[in-house]
Structure 1
C-alpha cells in the first residue's frame, strides 16, 4: 500500500504558501528563490516542485489564496444581495480592507513587480482576481434585479472603482500618507459614496 510522505501532505502545501508570501514580500518576486522558500517552509525543494511545479506556479497559488480567502469570508451568498445593499457593501469593504492590510507587504511587492515585469506579474494578478471580480459583479447584478441598484451603471467598472478606492486607501493609510482619519472612517465613507452612486434615482437623495 502506498503511503503519502509527510512532506507531501496538505500541511506542507500550506507551509509553502505561507513561506512564499513572506519571502516574496521580503525579497521581491525576482530575487526570491524556490530554495529559500522551501527552507523557510521547512521542507525540501523537491516537495515545492511537486506541489507547484515552479516559482510562477507558487506565486499564482499565493495570489489565488489571498483573493479566494477574501471572497469566501466577505462576499456572502447571492440571496443576501437582494436585501440591504449598504450592509452588504460594508461587509465586503471591511473584509477587503482588512485582508489587503494583513497582506500589505506582499501586495506592495506585487505592485512594484508589476511595474518592472508588467506582462508577467499582471497576468498572474488578473487571473487570480478574475473569478472573484465576476462573482462580485454577479452579486451587484442580483442587487439591481432586486431594485437596489439603478439601471445604466456599468457594474464591471463600478466593481473595479470600488475595490480600487479601498485598495488605494489602504496603501495611503498604512503608508501614513492620510490626514488623520481612521481606516474605519475611510471604509464607511467609501461605502456611502459608492452606495449613493448605485442607488436608484430619488432613493439616493433620501439616504445620502
Structure 2
C-alpha cells in the first residue's frame, strides 16, 4: 500500500512538472492533456485518474508554485529588522521565484485578456504568500516607527514587486544592451523603495546603504 501511494505521488509530481512545461510553451489554449501526458511519459488515462481536466492541472501547478515559496521568510528569525538588509534578501528571493517561473509568467501575460482568470492565478497567486509576508513585516516596522504610517502597504508592496518583475523580464530580453548589472538594478530598486517608505532621514539611509557591510 505504501509503495502504491509513493508511486501515485511520483506520477502526480511528474504530471505537474510536465504541465508546467506545456503551459509555459503552449499557454492555456494550446496545452492539451494528451501533450501533458506525453511529456510526463504516462498515458492519458493515467492523467485523468489524477486530474479531471487541464484546468485542474493548472490549479495544481499554481499550488505547487505557492508551496515552494510558502516557507520562505515565514519565521521572524529570518528578518533582521533592518529595512535595507531585509528588503534586499526579499528582492533576491523574488528574483529567484520569478526566474523559476519566467516562461509561465511570460505566456500568461500574453494570455491575460483571453484567459483573465488563469492569468490572475499565474501572475498574482504564485507570489501571493511572498507579498503577504512583506506586508506583515512592514506593518510591524510601522508599529516600531521605522516605516511611515501614511502609506498604503499593499500598494507599496505591489509597486516594489512590479519594479522587480519588470527588471527581471527586461534583463532576459536585452541583457547586453543595458549599461548596468542585474544586481545593480535590484540594489537600486531596494534603495528607492527604502528611501520612499522609511522614517529615517535621507542622510542616515544613504550612509547605511553605501556602507561596506551592506554589500
TM > 0.5 fold call: yes
SS of 1:181's equivalent in the other structure is coil
> Does the 8 Å CA contact 2:146/2:198 hold for their aligned counterparts?
yes
What corresponds to 2:209 in structure 1? none
SS of 1:200's equivalent in the other structure is coil
Structure 1 residues 133 and 38: alpha-carbon distance in aligned structure 2, compared to 1, 3 A threshold: same
What corresponds to 1:172 in structure 2? 170
Structure 1 residues 61 and 117: alpha-carbon distance in aligned structure 2, compared to 1, 3 A threshold: same
Q: After TM superposition, give the deviation of residue 19 of structure 1 in Å.
A: 1.0
SS of 2:148's equivalent in the other structure is coil
Which residues in structure 2 correspond to 1:43-82 (within 5 Å)?
Answer: 43-73=42-72, 75-81=73-79
SS of 1:30's equivalent in the other structure is helix
SS of 1:114's equivalent in the other structure is coil
SS of 2:4's equivalent in the other structure is coil
Query: Cα deviations across residues 156-187 of structure 1 (Å, max 9, x unaligned)?
Result: 00110011110011111111076221111111
SS of 2:183's equivalent in the other structure is helix
> Does the 8 Å CA contact 2:69/2:127 hold for their aligned counterparts?
no
Q: After TM superposition, give the deviation of residue 80 of structure 1 in Å.
A: 4.2
Flag structure 1 segments of 5+ consecutive residues without an equivalent: none
Structure 1 residues 179 and 126: alpha-carbon distance in aligned structure 2, compared to 1, 3 A threshold: closer
What corresponds to 2:4 in structure 1? 4
Stretch moving more, 76-85 or 182-191: 76-85
> Does the 8 Å CA contact 2:146/2:200 hold for their aligned counterparts?
no
Q: After TM superposition, give the deviation of residue 18 of structure 1 in Å.
A: 1.4
Q: After TM superposition, give the deviation of residue 190 of structure 1 in Å.
A: 0.6
**Structure-1 separation of matches of 2:2 and 2:104:** 38
Stretch moving more, 141-150 or 44-53: 44-53
Query: Cα deviations across residues 91-150 of structure 1 (Å, max 9, x unaligned)?
Result: 110111122123211110111111332244325644444444323211221222233212
Structure 1 residues 126 and 173: alpha-carbon distance in aligned structure 2, compared to 1, 3 A threshold: closer
The size of the alignment, in residue pairs, is 205
| Structure 1: 4+ residue segments shifted above 6 A | none
Q: After TM superposition, give the deviation of residue 6 of structure 1 in Å.
A: 6.1
Flag structure 2 segments of 5+ consecutive residues without an equivalent: 207-215
What TM-score comes out, normalization by structure 1 length?
A: 0.85
**Structure-2 separation of matches of 1:59 and 1:167:** 21
What corresponds to 1:19 in structure 2? 18
What TM-score comes out, normalization by structure 2 length?
A: 0.83
Structure 1 residues 6 and 67: alpha-carbon distance in aligned structure 2, compared to 1, 3 A threshold: closer
Q: After TM superposition, give the deviation of residue 41 of structure 1 in Å.
A: 1.0
Give the CA RMSD over aligned residues.
2.5
1:135 pairs, out of 133, 136, 140, with 133
**Structure-1 separation of matches of 2:96 and 2:121:** 24
Q: After TM superposition, give the deviation of residue 11 of structure 1 in Å.
A: 1.6
